[in-house]
Structure 1
């Protein structure tokens, strides 16, 4: 069944998740120097994208419409903003301390290697395009988990076209598609205690990953092969399998703990696209401010405050409406009018 109304549980969840996306990207620049920041970062990355991808799948039940609109709503925005990102990267080569000669390196500019956060937009494009065909395959959900774990055995599947991440997160997208609104709300009947215990377990795992096992945060990105890390193949496969378990458990946590009534988070959740596509540039501004500060504690406070401000401002209706108008105008310049 395709939803024709707003689901406050979904909107609230998306509001929390888009804040965590901005927070995770902001913490990127402090995590290697402080264990507490690494633990926060690891905890967020254990679940925030699995749950986000699950919700994306849940909202993709109109598969033919999704495929029909995928180029306009996902590929064109990706191509535009990835070009902007590449230009910013090229410009940064001129900054003091960089080798200006590297600006001529053609490998620096890649249309189909997503820059930073843009992998999710390209993965969404691929999922929307291939979902109608994937659903025709028997036991596709189980197969997708096997493929997601096995894909990182091969170094060929990396950041190009976000192939590694697309395959790794496909099980969450399919799970979302197969989950009905009724099933989602049925998860709330088990009470909140299991969800609180799962959350505590997630925090404990994040601490163990950092303090005991020294698992790199990059492992949770799922954008590179296992042999990139000095963990060992067997341990890497076990960790990847564990990541699926944690991701699905936190889907339950969100379904169980997140309010199903209208809250201030709903506005954030309704306007996630503008936040997602624009926030990295604003994080850059926050980092410029931090570069003039020596105290890491003050840097941390500025980053957390900046995360709240960026998420709040970019999720305002006036920003979202103007942003969507810009994307619609971009498509009008590219595509002929439909008859």
Structure 2
């Protein structure tokens, strides 16, 4: 669960910074055109070397949002074993599940707006998404076999396990990005596809397509968003309005715990598999889509826009996302929750704090440096060299 969170020019995962549109970083003075320097002769103006292009900078808001969302993912997994014995824990669990992955997916779509199947983009898609998927799908299989959860060691790349589904989803969503820019009504079309998937029990489990398609509208919506939309939800009025909405949503979650099947929040099953008529599944999907969007907006409204102590951790959300899965599963297999004190209010608070601390540590720069060789490998050996342009051909793209 998800998506993003590294340099916009060097990363491809939705849990990391992606192809950040240049339009998100530039502003123009009304009534004026940006000044253009005179054309430089080879070697630079008057013999001086041409100045380097301006360095891209990270947006602290999105780094903060990704870090806070990954903390919510970890908290949700930490609360899951408390679900059956505590209505309050169950309410928090479904409240968080209503928006944490939709928020990740919207941000992933936003940073995919410039994906155009260019050579460098496809290479980063392979090294930043496909390779981590293969590595962690294999690592999880080995871990399951070692822990006794698998009778025989085997790796099935067509069947994402636990957290790796988001990498498959991101890979497939990103490949469809050019399509969503040319259709007239991208979000309604993506929503129609999600609704069709939700009432298709024969879709199968290969590549976790149910979840890939049911989360698709959030990705497409993110592609359609512009910087001003995020500025709108960060206004003071929106921040104030978000408080009663979040409180009401949490109260509704508490009420719904004994009355609602929490499987709706996972988006992994068709309506028929959940035991309801197909038309009920369509209504639920529409309701869940609307609810998730509102809560995502409320969540983003309270994300700090300035640099904070956690901003640097936003670059490591993919690390925290994939690595904390080992501890989440180990805690179930090795009965870490069997102690009676954990099922007290103070125990639940301790579990919450511990989960937040662990996932925070897993997002830190030392962990990123240690594992970058598998999470962001360069793999220059795997790609053909780009042919040199013929003499006189234009160099690069123009804005």
Please state whether the residue corresponding to 1:114 is helix, strand or coil.
coil
2:172 aligns to what?
126
How many Å separate the matches in 2 of 1:301 and 1:310? 14
**How do 1:18-37 residues align onto structure 2 when only pairs under 5 Å count?**
18-37=70-89
> In angstroms, what is the RMSD of aligned CA positions?
2.4
How many Å separate the matches in 1 of 2:300 and 2:337? 39
2:212 aligns to what?
166
Q: CA deviation at 1:118?
A: 0.9
1:70 aligns to what?
125
Q: CA deviation at 1:70?
A: 1.3
How many Å separate the matches in 1 of 2:197 and 2:355? 33
Please state whether the residue corresponding to 2:113 is helix, strand or coil.
coil
Please state whether the residue corresponding to 1:41 is helix, strand or coil.
helix
**How do 1:264-279 residues align onto structure 2 when only pairs under 5 Å count?**
264-279=309-324
Question: Are 1:193 and 2:240 an aligned pair?
Answer: yes
2:107 aligns to what?
55
Structure-2 change in CA distance of 1:30 and 1:72 (3 Å): same
Structure-2 change in CA distance of 1:334 and 1:88 (3 Å): farther
How many Å separate the matches in 2 of 1:202 and 1:159? 31
**How do 1:135-146 residues align onto structure 2 when only pairs under 5 Å count?**
135-146=181-192
Q: CA deviation at 1:62?
A: 2.1
2:379 aligns to what?
332
1:38 aligns to what?
90
Question: Are 1:184 and 2:239 an aligned pair?
Answer: no
Please state whether the residue corresponding to 1:240 is helix, strand or coil.
helix
8 Å CA contact retained: 2:113, 2:177: no
Structure-2 change in CA distance of 1:308 and 1:202 (3 Å): same
Q: Deviations over 1:18-62 (max 9, x none)?
A: 000111122222213322221111000111111110011111122
Question: Whose radius of gyration is greater, 1 or 2?
Answer: 2
User: RCO greater where, 1 or 2, for CA within 8 Å and sep 6 or more?
Assistant: 1
**How do 1:209-288 residues align onto structure 2 when only pairs under 5 Å count?**
209-211=256-258, 214-287=259-332, 288=334
Structure-2 change in CA distance of 1:59 and 1:333 (3 Å): closer
Unmatched tracts of structure 1, length 5 or more:
95-101
Q: CA deviation at 1:285?
A: 4.6
How many Å separate the matches in 1 of 2:211 and 2:360? 28
2:151 aligns to what?
103
Q: Which moved more, 1:81-90 or 1:61-70?
A: 61-70
Question: Are 1:151 and 2:172 an aligned pair?
Answer: no
Q: CA deviation at 1:234?
A: 3.6
Q: Deviations over 1:199-231 (max 9, x none)?
A: 1232133123213xx222222100111122234
Q: CA deviation at 1:335?
A: 1.6
Unmatched tracts of structure 2, length 5 or more:
1-20, 25-55, 387-399
Please state whether the residue corresponding to 2:306 is helix, strand or coil.
coil
Please state whether the residue corresponding to 2:138 is helix, strand or coil.
helix
8 Å CA contact retained: 2:233, 2:239: no
How many residues are treated as equivalent by the alignment? Answer: 327
Question: Are 1:81 and 2:126 an aligned pair?
Answer: no
How many Å separate the matches in 1 of 2:275 and 2:380? 49
